Structure 1
Amino acid sequence: MNQKANENVERVAQFIVKPQTPIRPYICSTLNDFQEERNFLATNIFPQLNELCNSRGTYFKPVDLRWSVLKAQKSLPANLYRQGCCLLSQQLKLCLDYVNSCFPFFICMLGQTYGDFFPDHSPFMFSKAKDLSNLSKAEQNLYVAAKNGYPWVLETPNCSLTEFEIIQAAFRNQSQFQYFYFRTRTTLLKILSGEEEESLSSGALVNEEEKLKIGRLKAKIISKGLPIRFYKDLQELGELVFKDWSFVIEKLNPITLMIKNIDYRHSLECFYHEEFIEKCKQAFVSSKESNRIFEILEQFVLKDEGLDLKNAAADSNLVSVLRINSLPAFKSILLLSGERGCGKSTLIANFVNYFKNKYPSIWIIPHFVGSTCESSDIVSVIHYFITELQHKNHSNR
């Protein structure tokens, strides 16, 4: 085989094996007046972008929190009401967490409204409060966010949730994959000056301070040179979003080589399992108990592989553990049981990562039931393992 043919084979192998970049933009806007846009994009545009991603071996999955549907109603049972209040008090912190997890992707829609905020004349005195419940909802959000990694929110406590999200995504970080869509039928000069746009379909009334704030926010976005699009209706918004994010998909996941029989479905399934492991790694906190379980699992895997177990048990208390939890000599299936939500999947996902790093020569095919829609279908599971074995067999030749 000549050198050019070898290069082509190598490119094919990289295209099949190398994970493509998933596109997960955070959706930012004031909520009550942008539900129609969010619904339209989720129903008509995002599925098209996801299909485009699927053809590249990845996926498009925006994060749309829609906090407006979350309300802590007193008619709920006491425990659910308390949980709802607790979640609402962490709204700002959780939104900023998701902005970070979705970085560098960000979609922002702005219109005439600014969102809830502290009036400029309102004093912010949470530092003297002894009980969080004595603070207002806005004060609770600022307090929780400031104490959990976002102290900068106290520098501008009069911002709305929407502006906080924009600051975190576009002003405290920089990315070329952020797009801002302004709903307007006015000129750019009116937007910059903060003058009133045409009234919203919802008929929302905006006071003068809010109009001034949304005008200043738009001017700040424009002054920074961030990519801005203006739209008049849903159809125009859809066309702009599809064009912008098709460009992002092409830039990050270009089709540089088209060959027959590439299994895109399998490639996509692999990415979901890999992402599941990554998410579990972020939530995992190592402990003495988890290390002991890792040792047991390591001993079991190596035993099933027929390898020397002495090295695996060296410098550990595994022997004493196995005296209590002895492993059967002829079994190749290990059952890890526990209550739902206790962290079994997270533990196994982190063990897979630990074992791969420690024994790179041993090949593992991780598969997590429930991580994808098809992961519990027996035909899909068989297809997944057969395809992995085929790829492994070809790569060894």
Structure 2
Amino acid sequence: MSPPSAVGSYQLPDLLSHFQDYHELSINGYCRAASLASEKWVLDIAQEKLGSPALSLLPFIDRLPSMKLGLLGACSFPSCDLTQLILMMDFCTLIVLDTEGLLRSNPPITSHWGLGNDTSNSGYVEVLQTHPVLQRLLTRLSRLQNSTTESWQRRFTSSIVAFRHSRQKAIDYRREGTALAHLEIEEYIGFRRDLSGIPFILDLMEAVEGLELDIPPCNDDLSTLRCLVGDIIVLTWDVFSYNIDQSIDNKINIVSLLQSKREIALVHSIKEAGDLIFQRIDAFKSLEKSLLSSMGASPSDRESDSGATALNSLWNNFTGLFSAAEKPNNPHPSVTDFQAHDIALYIRALKDCLVGFLHWAYETDIFFGTKGDTVKGFGWVFLLPPPNRHAETTA
């Protein structure tokens, strides 16, 4: 297919090719059952008409099936059992709808999540109680207090608080109508990562799967891997969302920021954004290889534990990683087989999230409407009219 005219179109970076022969897409076998249950739950909340908090979900009622958020969950968390998958779907759906409503509402919405309460000494239950929609998950999430460590609970709480504050910043940015040019690129990426909710989605995945990852020798590397996954997803989300964002004058987008800061054309800002994504994919692969090979891991007896998670069934897939790679002469003495087992499974789960998101992005209508297959095949996107053109055509 010959490329379209450079005027009014652009080509997306080829991200899927970076995962060929690296990690295959898996889809949870409970996809349909969990999707139906989750979608019904979300629709019930949206239709309760509890005032402005509920109204934030109403615009999505008709679109919810075509957004395919259940498929996102099934592609991202293929090893969860049915109950786990429904929880992850419910959580992700509320976060995506909340963020999409914030970024694409016109005029920009006001916050339903008050920032006046002091959360410095609060746990995640107390923080989530202040959100009118996310609090609906508290009955299920509060049970994790009995099965998670204090360090995980602190990290989960910090991730939620960061999401809460970034949300208010995003509301302020949209009201001001600025291009966020005062933010440095890395500063924007951190803000966008927090706004996406991905950090605490990954935290929740860790707890749901029953993984224990408070491992001091590896904590920094695991934190870096989490950040890289968040960066890759939000930068991809921005690049894929740019066409719609520019058509509604939403400046919270890495492509818009690069255009403003670098004073470069669209084609160059798309390429630079793609380079940022590729750099992080390569960094993830490099750190994964380094971390796994440094552990000299071997299967643990945990697989036979009746309390083992659904991910344990995948452990045998990892033995090839360690046998194929040259084991170090002196594996890290402070990392046990038990811990190495959980680290390897967690890395697998992070890759599931990356690959699952990338494949889902072409199936949902959030980014490309009904043209996802065409965009996936050829990579070209035709620009929608900017806001002033919309006004002219509707006048």
Provide TM-score, normalisation by structure 2. Answer: 0.25
Provide TM-score, normalisation by structure 1. Answer: 0.25
Query: Which entry has the higher C-alpha Rg, 1 or 2?
Result: 1
Q: Which has the higher contact order (CA 8 A, sep 6+)?
A: 2
